[in-house]
Structure 1
Amino acid sequence: MPQPLAAHLIRTGALSPTREPASWDAPLSAPAPAASWGGSEHPAGVARAAGPFSATAAVALATTWSITRVGGRKRAMNRLIRALQASCSATCRPASSAEASEAVLAVRRTAWHTPVRTACLEESAAATFLLATRRLSVVWCHGIAADPVRLHAWVQTVDGDPVAEPPSTRAYTPALTIGARHQHRL
């Protein structure tokens, strides 16, 4: 008598009972999807972003780097989250799409001059910090996409529009969002 799992798999067609051992069918071949940790669709590393170096963006990148590198590694993400929450709590108004895009692009341009890792996590956090120095808010997002599992961090306007991101960013489900949700006043 088959076990309950085997019986269920036979009923659903996932298993086929045989009297004698048989070889498996050849697996179907398909290209393996490339894992993306948020930087594969951006031209970073391929071509330099045009525009001037920004000292304020450099400070925001240095702040991000310091928060994640100083102290225990296990708590780095917690420290970054607390810093993002604190910076977002001091904002006065939502950043416009143009202001947010300008900040993200300034961080990307400036990252070319830094000798440290600057991927989506560092880039998005630095852009959030940069805007907070101007008392402007965005929503910082950390999300996940499946098959294969991919993580990505980005900023979006308070209206929910991703800033300076490819359309594929919409495939990510935000698992954590940080940022002031301002009420629009007419």
Structure 2
Amino acid sequence: MPQPLAAHLIHTGALSPTREPASWDAPLSAPAPAASWGGAEHPAGLTRATGPVNAKAAVALATTWSITRVGRRKRAMNRLVRALQASSSATCRPASPAEASEAVLAVRRTAWHAPVRTACLEESAAATFLLATRRLSVVWCHGIAADPVRLHAWVQTVDGGPVAEPPSTRAYTPALTIGARHQHRL
């Protein structure tokens, strides 16, 4: 009698029972999926970054890096979420689209010079921390897109507009958002 998993796989057509061992079918060829946001729309390589390095953005990036690297690796995202929640709770007013864009772009410019991994997660968290130093809030988003499954993190203004993001960001559904507490405050 087949095991429950094997029986389920046979029932769904994922496995075919045979009496004799047989060779596997040749793999199907398919086009490679498009790269996620970090590789497709933010080219990597040795290029000269434009704009000044911002010292406060560097501190925000270093803070993000420290939060994710100090302690048990499997708890890194939990630590980052708690830090983002704490920084969001200390804000007084929503950042304007211009203020939010300035922060995101300052972090991105500065990240070109960082000797550590700096992808969307680090950039969006650092921009959120940078704005929080001025007691300004944005909504930090961590989302998912399907087919192929991709993750992305970004910031958006309190009224919902993604900040300094390409149109492809709209393909992501936010799974976690932090920082919408000023949404209806005047």
TM-score (norm 2): 0.81
Secondary structure (helix, strand or coil) at the match of 1:106 reads helix
Deviates more, 1:152-161 or 1:39-48: 39-48
Secondary structure (helix, strand or coil) at the match of 2:38 reads coil
Secondary structure (helix, strand or coil) at the match of 2:39 reads coil
Unmatched runs of 5 consecutive residues or more in structure 1:
none
Q: Deviations along 1:63-112, whole A, 9 cap, x unmatched?
A: 00000000000100000000000000000110011100100010011111
Change in 2 beyond 3 A, CA 1:13/1:164: same
Change in 2 beyond 3 A, CA 1:25/1:177: same
Q: How far apart in 2 are the matches of 1:67 and 1:3?
A: 44
Q: Is the 8 A contact 2:159 2:183 kept in 1?
A: no
Cα drift, residue 40 of structure 1: 2.4
Q: How far apart in 2 are the matches of 1:128 and 1:159?
A: 15
Deviates more, 1:44-53 or 1:158-167: 44-53
Change in 2 beyond 3 A, CA 1:143/1:7: closer
Q: How far apart in 2 are the matches of 1:180 and 1:2?
A: 51
Count of residues in correspondence between the two structures: 186
Q: How far apart in 1 are the matches of 2:40 and 2:154?
A: 14
Change in 2 beyond 3 A, CA 1:16/1:166: same
Q: Deviations along 1:26-80, whole A, 9 cap, x unmatched?
A: 9986522124164421245474442111000000000000000000001000000
Cα drift, residue 169 of structure 1: 0.1
Q: Is the 8 A contact 2:34 2:40 kept in 1?
A: no
Cα drift, residue 6 of structure 1: 15
Q: How far apart in 1 are the matches of 2:147 and 2:49?
A: 30
Q: How far apart in 2 are the matches of 1:68 and 1:8?
A: 40
Q: Deviations along 1:15-36, whole A, 9 cap, x unmatched?
A: 9999999999999865221241
Q: Is the 8 A contact 1:84 1:128 kept in 2?
A: yes
Unmatched runs of 5 consecutive residues or more in structure 2:
none
Q: Aligned-pair RMSD on alpha carbons?
A: 3.5
